[in-house]
Amino acid sequence: GAVVSQHPSRVICKSGTSVKIECRSLDFQATTMFWYRQFPKQSLMLMATSNEGSKATYEQGVEKDKFLINHASLTLSTLTVTSAHPEDSSFYICSARDPALSGAEAFFGQGTRLTVV
């Protein structure tokens, strides 16, 4: 299947700082990428849909000013957690769909474990 690479895999930052997470589609171009968040023992919650060349679409309850999304190219989307606080500690996962595939399969990155201290 298609490959999606996410970096870093884990990051620890101080409260009040910002953290950037990158999501790359390695062997296909993705006009749309998705950012999820997963709390322990819970499902993946969609945070936002990242659209290449336009503004991201945020889910209800997700602060767009706190979770900045940039999708400047067809292979890269970034999520920046601004002014991080301990409650932002979570597992963040990106995914992308290969438009060449007829189905709705989305391929996921490895995830980023963010710990805010």
Partner 1 sequence: DQQVKQNSPSLSVQEGRISILNCDYTNSMFDYFLWYKKYPAEGPTFLISISSIKDKNEDGRFTVFLNKSAKHLSLHIVPSQPGDSAVYFCAASDRGSRLTFGEGTQLTVNP
Residues that bind partner 1 (CB under 8 A): 1, 4, 6, 34, 42-44, 46, 49, 91, 93, 95, 97, 103-111, 113
Between residues 28 and 91, which has the closer beta carbon with respect to partner 1? 91
For tokens 């996962």, the residue is 93
CB of 11 to partner 1, least distance (A): 13
Between residues 10 and 16, which has the closer beta carbon with respect to partner 1? 10
What is the spatial distance between Cα 48 and Cα 94, in angstroms, rounded to a whole number?
10
Between residues 104 and 117, which has the closer beta carbon with respect to partner 1? 104
Query: Apex CA 51: angle with CA 41 and CA 56, to 5°?
Result: 65
Between residues 50 and 75, which has the closer beta carbon with respect to partner 1? 50
Q: In whole angstroms, how far apart are CA 26 and each of 19, 55, 74, 75, 83?
A: 22, 22, 10, 7, 30
For tokens 């919650």, the residue is 45
Query: Apex CA 52: angle with CA 66 and CA 12, to 5°?
Result: 35
CB of 67 to partner 1, least distance (A): 16
CB of 21 to partner 1, least distance (A): 12
CB of 98 to partner 1, least distance (A): 11
